[in-house]
Amino acid sequence: MSVQVWTWILVGITFAIYFGIAIWARAGSTKEFYVAGGGVSPLANGMATAADWMSAASFISMAGLISFMGYDGSVFLMGWTGGYVLLALLLAPYLRKFGKFTVPDFIGDRYYSNTARTVAVICALIVSFTYVAGQMRGVGIVFSQFLQVDINLGVIIGMTVVLVFAFLGGMKGITYTQVAQYCVLIFAFMVPAFFISMQMTGNIIPQIGMGGTVEDGTFLLDKLDTLHTQLGFNEYTDGSKSTWDVFAITLALMVGTAGLPHVIVRFFTVPKVKDARKSAGLALLFIAILYTTAPAIAVFARTNLIETVSNTQYKEVPEWFKNWENTGLISWSDKNNDGKIQYVNGKATDGKPKYTGERGEHGERLVSNANDSANELYVDRDIMVLANPEIAKLPNWVIALVAAGGLAAALSTAAGLLLVISTSISHDLIKKQIKPNISEKGELLAARISILVAIIIAGLFGIYPPGFVAAVVALAFGLAAASFFPAIILGIFDKRMNRQGAVTGMVVGIVLMLFYMIRYKTGLIGVMDPRPASEWWFGTSPEGFGTIAMIVNVIISVVVSRMTAAPPKEVQEIVENIRIPSGAGEASSH
């Protein structure tokens, strides 16, 4: 059977499972809609947390980033895994004991202020919409290539699927759907890795295969370093980023992970505090399976790409190249008219290639924005994991399986984020502030309407994508680091922290991060183009600036809190209480 037929079969089966779970797990109360009734087992919650956390960026983009960035891409591995450890050890048990299932709810009660709650809601919406933009782009990429539909139609199909299981089941439906999605995405990620590792190095375990030898006895990484230097790139195993920027990006991703609202809420879906700890540990184990495999897939994909495409006559390029060329995510512009694909260091085009609709003499799709660089090949980083099985000539069912896994990764995280958006509006704005007397039925209706509106906005992000998936997601982590993390960590460990300090810190942190992100990533402030790296503050990239914004947030929060009145005595007692490790039983509720 063809790849497309296999894809329809596997995607159809997995979607049928998701729909079935959504119908089975319909939410009948706000507690079921927000926290799945608080009765999920640690094992199921660990798998759901892993699926929630491993987004399209983890599945589709991370190996692609490492594939192109080499050693520099390790910041994503260190930051995202380290951040999860930070979340599991520093925040999850304390927040669970506090008994508030949304970050704005915790901040509103801990800082005894609706102003603080509102600022937290705004921050949650900004972070979640920035993050969900990456997920919807991932959905569009997978659908457009593997199901041969228009990318916009692909996004709309994805929106519909998320709408069904999020709208019907809320957190209850999402949790059990995410358990299924974790199984799909991890199987889809690992099977091609086993095949390709065996094919290239003779070792079925990809983590070992990455450090193994190829047919001629050369170490695979040495071979890739040689290929890189021959093409004018830095050695794959050498980094080009400054030590400070590596540290800043890693820390921003770490503390951003620890402040992500859609992951934090997961620790309220289990019955007890000790179950929150167990599910955190299990989730880390489930996450590690993918994260220790991603560098190996990156090495395999990069080696295969160079060997099968570089210096090859266009008429002889493999079928996978021409398949992906039709999506606009890979292109070749024959700048020296020799009919060969010259892949060397340098940008092949000015931004994304714009097709003229014409064909060249070799059959290539002509682009109008090729620049003067000698490099003739444009490759979107987001396609490396998805195209890897085709590059390695794996069976069609494996190629289709990767498509199903990519969709599972994107949809699971999108669902969690959309629920955060929904609860922020229905619970933290409407129930807690605008209409405190709203009935449970009315609140549930508001939550469902909120999720519908959020999905429509998320779909627009997918149709008009702001950038490749991992870049957008990395910025979302920076926003979470700049806004939420200091307010949460100081709220737990500094009983002197008051509402004035927290609100001022959050506002300054997120405004500073947004300013830097827009000026140095999109260039909408002052000039039309993003400002160059030479103008970065302290040599810090936009992805790493969350660290500086977080430090500024902490300093301002502490200084302002010491210059203003201390929190009420009862609030200080709550802070003392949630730090006492006696809560292996039911969570305290204040």
* Digitized pLDDT (tens) for each residue of the chain, 590 residues in all: 777 788 888 888 887 887 787 777 666 666 666 655 567 788 888 888 888 777 666 777 788 888 888 888 888 888 878 887 887 777 777 777 777 667 788 888 888 888 888 888 888 887 777 777 767 767 777 777 666 777 778 788 877 877 776 666 566 777 777 788 788 888 888 888 898 899 888 889 998 888 888 887 888 888 888 888 888 888 888 877 888 888 998 898 888 877 676 777 777 777 777 787 788 888 888 888 888 898 998 898 888 888 888 888 888 888 888 777 777 778 887 777 788 888 888 777 776 677 666 676 666 666 676 667 777 788 877 777 878 788 778 888 888 888 788 777 777 777 777 777 777 788 777 877 788 788 878 877 887 788 788 888 878 877 776 554 445 666 778 888 888 889 888 988 888 899 899 999 989 998 998 888 777 776 554 444 556 667 788 888 888 898 999 999 999 999 999 999 888 888 888 888 877 654 444 444 44
* Secondary structure class of 314 (helix, strand, coil): helix
The single-letter code of the amino acid at 237 is: T
User: Angle at the Cα of 295 (from 291 to 301), degrees rounded to 5?
Assistant: 125
C-alpha closest to that of 477 among 213, 163, 83, 149: 83
The answer to whether 407 and 462 have CB atoms below 8 angstroms apart is no
| C-alpha radius of gyration, the chain, whole number | 24
139 with 158: CB under 8 angstroms? Answer: yes
Q: Which residues contact 337 (CB under 8 A, 6 or more apart)?
A: none
User: What pLDDT score was predicted for residue 554?
Assistant: 95
Which pairing describes strands 330-332 and 355-359: parallel, antiparallel, or unpaired?
A: unpaired
* Element holding 468 (H helix, E strand): none
Phi/psi for 340 (5° steps) reads -105, 150
Identify residue 396 by its one-letter amino acid code: N
| Dist CA 191 CA 557 (whole Å) | 48
Q: How far apart are the first and last CA of the chain?
A: 59
Q: Which domains does the chain have, with CATH numbers?
A: 3-304+390-578 (1.20.1730.10), 330-379 (no CATH)
Contact 109, 590 (CB under 8 A): yes
Q: Which of 409, 106, 386, 436 is nearest to 265 (CA)?
A: 106
Locate all alpha helices (DSSP H) within 392-439, ordered by sequence.
Answer: 396-423
Distance separating alpha carbons of residues 101 and 99, to the nearest angstrom: 6
- What angle is formed at CA 361 by the lines to CA 357 and CA 364, rounded to 5 degrees? 50
Q: What are the DSSP calls for 263-295, one per residue? A: HHGGGGSSSSHHHHHHHHHHHHHHHHHHHHHHH
Task: Report if pTM > 0.95.
Answer: no
What angle, rounded to 10 degrees, do the helices at 569-578 and 103-110 form?
130
The encoded tokens of residue 303 equal 């080696």
